Chain A
Amino acid sequence: DTAVSQTPKYLVTQMGNDKSIKCEQNLGHDTMYWYKQDSKKFLKIMFSYNNKELIINETVPNRFSPKSPDKAHLNLHINSLELGDSAVYFCASSRASGNTGELFFGEGSRLTVL
């Protein structure tokens, strides 16, 4: 069973559209994250979220919003897509209590904005 799964794996869309990427983890973890990996492979934290607190990286535009229907899911919704949003988006999870810091990543969702 896949521990952290994301859908879709590939997403091609036009500028100005709104899109969502879904993430689910079956590890029983309390904390989930979204990372953005740009064309230079740089991994940058966008959000970290548990059932109590959302921590937003201040550099993330407010067009990006995480939505968590329950502890096992953290979806990423993006409004008014721009060319610069093209990247690979990774969902990850970790234990919250006694946080080791170890992240378990999904396989990524490659977003291409035309």
Chain B
Amino acid sequence: GENVEQHPSTLSVQEGDSAVIKCTYSDSASNYFPWYKQELGKGPQLIIDIRSNVGEKKDQRIAVTLNKTAKHFSLHITETQPEDSAVYFCAASISQAGTALIFGKGTTLSVSS
């Protein structure tokens, strides 16, 4: 089955700096790679995703890159703001009805002003 490794587990940056979180996956059949943000006391929410036929995707200050050969993908947040502070999860899924996402262990991002 799929296994997703995520690093680092904690990340502290100054406001305005960039933050990068990296994940690797094990199942070559995986073809969908979302990133979720979880704020304190809330459920995780999708912030960006990428499919295996795409190498990079951007949405304002966040971007995700995917290297299928190496089986790794990364989240990049530029110009970080204090409200970016949260736990971020990467995940992987295979395209099959009812298939659950397998999550990494999360990265706690702290942005100090």
Q: Do A and B bind each other?
A: yes
User: Which residues from A are CB-within-8-Å of B38?
Assistant: 41
Contact call A108/B43, Cβ cutoff below 8 A: yes
Contact call A43/B98, Cβ cutoff below 8 A: no
Interface magnitude class on chain A? 20 to 34
User: Which residues from B are CB-within-8-Å of A49?
Assistant: 98
Contact call A103/B105, Cβ cutoff below 8 A: no
B residues contacting A by CB (< 8 A) are 32, 34, 36, 38, 41-46, 49, 87, 89, 91, 93, 95-103, 105-106, 108
Chain A binding surface SS class:
loop
A43 touching B89 in the complex, CB below 8 Å, given contacts A90-B43, A107-B41, A108-B43: yes
Q: Which stretch (A14-22, A63-71, A72-80, A92-100) binds chain B?
A: A92-100
Contact call B32/A41, Cβ cutoff below 8 A: no
A residues contacting B by CB (< 8 A) are 4, 30-31, 33, 40-45, 48-50, 53, 55, 90, 92, 96-97, 99-103, 105-108
Contact call A101/B34, Cβ cutoff below 8 A: yes
A53 touching B45 in the complex, CB below 8 Å, given contacts A41-B87, A42-B106, A43-B89: no
Name the CB-closest residue of B to A99: B97
A53 touching B46 in the complex, CB below 8 Å, given contacts A41-B87, A41-B105, A107-B41: no
Name the CB-closest residue of B to A4: B43
Complex alpha-carbon distance, A58 and B22, angstroms: 28
Complex alpha-carbon distance, A105 and B100, angstroms: 12
User: Which residues from A are CB-within-8-Å of B96?
Assistant: 99
User: Which residues from B are CB-within-8-Å of A108?
Assistant: 41-43
Give the residue of A42, A48, A105, A107 whose beta carbon is less than 8 angstroms from that of B98.
A48
Q: Can you list 25 residue pairs at the A/B interface with Cβ under 8 Å?
A: A31-B97, A31-B98, A40-B105, A43-B89, A43-B106, A45-B100, A45-B101, A48-B98, A90-B43, A90-B44, A97-B97, A99-B93, A99-B97, A99-B98, A100-B49, A101-B32, A101-B34, A101-B93, A101-B99, A103-B36, A103-B44, A105-B44, A107-B41, A107-B42, A108-B41
